[in-house]
Amino acid sequence: MLFVGDGEVSVTEFLNVMEPIVSQMEEEETPDEITHRMWEVLDVDGGGSVTISEFRDVLEKVGLTMSYEEVRELFAEFDDDGSGALEEEELLAFIKSSI
């Protein structure tokens, strides 16, 4: 696992961290079950979408830091409807792309 050491987590570093976690979860759960559990953690306000702020807040709680711009770029890649937030189906696509 390669980390730059600049105090922030890049999209690539984040995906590298997530890969073994998701792989281990896949041994016990289907991708839909994994996504749903992640969704429950990420959708802090229960609003049906995960905003950049919610995503960054959850990362900070587990000791990871991504800049607003890095998260915005990540969201833009998977935000199919252009809402500026991720819905559960878009999160599933994100997870599948990382494994």
Nearest to 29 by CA among 39, 15, 14: 39
What is the chain's mean pLDDT, rounded? Answer: 79
For 22, the token pair is 């998701």
The pTM assigned to this predicted structure is 0.63
pLDDT of 31-66, one tens digit each?
778 778 888 888 888 899 999 999 898 888 888 888
